[in-house]
Amino acid sequence: MELEYGPEYELFRSEVRQFLVENWTKPVADGAIVEAASFRRQATAKGYLYRGVPQRYGGSEQPADPLKARVIREEFTRARAPREIEGPGVSMLVPTLLAVGEDWQKDRFVAKTLAGEYAWCQGYSEPHAGSDLAALRTRGEIVDGTWRISGQKVWTTLAHRAQFMFALVRTEPDAPKHLGISYLLIDMNQPGVTVRPLRQMSGGREFNEVFLDDARTPADWIVGARGAGWQVSRTTLRHERDLVGGAGATEDAFRKLVELARDARCDGRPALESEDVRQALARIEGYVLAQRFTSYRQMSLELAGQDAGLSGLLNKLNGTEIGHSMANLAQELIGSYGLLTPAPKGERGPEKWIGQIMGSLGVAIAGGASNIQRNIIAERGLGLPREGGAQS
Ligand SMILES: Cc1cc2nc3c(=O)[nH]c(=O)nc-3n(C[C@H](O)[C@H](O)[C@H](O)COP(=O)(O)OP(=O)(O)OC[C@H]3O[C@@H](n4cnc5c(N)ncnc54)[C@H](O)[C@@H]3O)c2cc1C
């Protein structure tokens, strides 16, 4: 197995590094957003960000090159420089619009979403439709040339900050359940939309219930055809799984866990000197490395133009499982600090782990719960018989 990047990519790495040295200075509190925005514009002009997005929509339109993409991710992470804006608008809606949207929809939404001017939320889950998403009941019908939408969404991340929602809505009530759904774009700032925050056990408020009560949206704010929303949403979810499954993020978290073990005390000594802690860390590191090499395999297949198959799903599943093991060990290491909820703001000690420990439970559910991933891997990867009922 060849694990070197080769001279061409090492040269590219030096270019990226040089660009970062010249253009990225760490932001100070208030200037952070402005500085990040102008830095992102420069990085996009150099071809480092939004590589798959055409220039006319605000991207850098680079030929697909997973090795370059990896070098960029490594160098930006090392320099702690901002990469693409995070959130479902950039990571989920934009790729979906580019794949199946109308030209006017791309013109209207993509560039402003990449620039952070438009924030989106994902309106899929409902009180009775999570893993079995196709059971969703929110209804939409055309009345006087406009969609009117009524129903309820739940667990809608950052809906309270979003200008728009991309939502799955039942528009063909007589069709079989997967064929009766449309993918609609909805303006959140209107009388028919009510956002109610859900308070988390960590004390945070990132999720919401969203009530749609005769909400309106123009007839052409539909992505794909009427009734094709299920297929359209599959494009979006694939991107979400890839997003959650990054091996780099797992390695980063593991490095921080080792730092925590170095700082934390166990029987009056650094926890890292404890035999039990060392064994637990070594066990986790085995999985971290396995995920890294699986991601190399995925990348090699993509470079060879082959389908990486279920490795995106495996990545997501492994990443969340490892994250959970790391969180459990972190919880043991921080001891009674773990009882502090909500986590004290701005703390730099062990308390900063509290949010991550609790968050690791959510990541195993968001974007397709781990059990559902296992079902899909078993059925499509191992060829086991299909389970009735739940959908992925
Ligand atoms: C951090 C976070 C962010 C989220 N953000 C959003 C968002 O922005 N927008 C949005 O629309 N939704 C969001 N969700 C919701 C998420 O998509 C759902 O929680 C998820 O699909 C699971 O649905 P559910 O909560 O209804 O659980 P259920 O589907 O009721 O599942 C409960 C448990 O049963 C298991 N289970 C269910 N069916 C099966 C089966 N057939 N076989 C084996 N086990 C099964 C599941 O694995 C799970 O452990 C978010 C969730 C989390 C945790």
Nearest CA to ligand 1 atom 27: 130
Nearest CA to ligand 1 atom 23: 130
Start-end of CATH 1.20.140.10 domains in the chain: 245-381
Q: Which long-range contacts (CB under 8 A, 24 or more apart) does 341-350 make?
A: 341/201, 341/202, 341/203, 342/202, 342/203, 342/204, 343/202, 343/203, 349/263, 350/260, 350/263, 350/264
Q: Which atom of ligand 1 is nearest to the CA of 387?
A: 41
Among 131, 195, 375, name the best residue to mutate to test ligand 1's pocket (greatest count of ligand atoms within 8 A of Cβ): 131
Among 93, 125, 186, name the best residue to mutate to test ligand 1's pocket (greatest count of ligand atoms within 8 A of Cβ): 125
CA of 368 to the centre of ligand 1 (A): 6
Query: What pTM value is reported for the model?
Result: 0.88
Q: Which atom of ligand 1 is nearest to the CA of 370?
A: 47
In the prediction, which pLDDT does 373 show? 87
Q: In CATH, what number does 120-229 get? A: 2.40.110.10
Low-confidence ranges of the chain (pLDDT < 50): 243-245, 390-392
Residues 6+ apart with CB under 8 A from 119: 87, 89, 158, 161, 162, 163, 164
Question: Could you give the CA distance from residue 135 to residue 156 in angstroms, rounded to a whole number?
Answer: 17
Q: Ligand 1: which residues within 6 Å by Cβ?
A: 121-125, 130-131, 155-157, 362, 365-366, 369, 371-372, 375, 387, 389-390
CA of 320 to the centre of ligand 1 (A): 14
Nearest CA to ligand 1 atom 53: 362
CA of 290 to the centre of ligand 1 (A): 26
At 309, the amino acid letter reads G
CA of 180 to the centre of ligand 1 (A): 21
Query: Which of these, 367, 392, 278, 295, lies nearest to 329 by C-alpha position?
Result: 278
Q: Which atom of ligand 1 is nearest to the CA of 375?
A: 42
In the prediction, which pLDDT does 390 show? 47
Paired strand residues for 207: 198
> Residue 93 is encoded by which pair of tokens?
């809606």
Question: Could you give the CA distance from residue 363 to residue 245 in angstroms, rounded to a whole number?
Answer: 10
Contact 159, 195 (CB under 8 A): yes
What's the length of the chain?
392
Query: Which of these, 265, 289, 288, 286, lies nearest to 277 by C-alpha position?
Result: 265
In the prediction, which pLDDT does 387 show? 75
**Cis bond before residue 54 (omega within 30° of 0):** no
Start-end of CATH 2.40.110.10 domains in the chain: 120-229
CA of 155 to the centre of ligand 1 (A): 9
With 0-12 / 13-18 / 19 or more C-beta atoms within 10 angstroms meaning exposed / middle / buried, residue 300 is middle
CA of 363 to the centre of ligand 1 (A): 10
For domain 245-381, give the CATH superfamily.
Butyryl-CoA Dehydrogenase, subunit A, domain 3 (1.20.140.10)
Question: Could you give the CA distance from residue 333 to residue 262 in angstroms, rounded to a whole number?
Answer: 10
The catalytic site residues sit at: 240
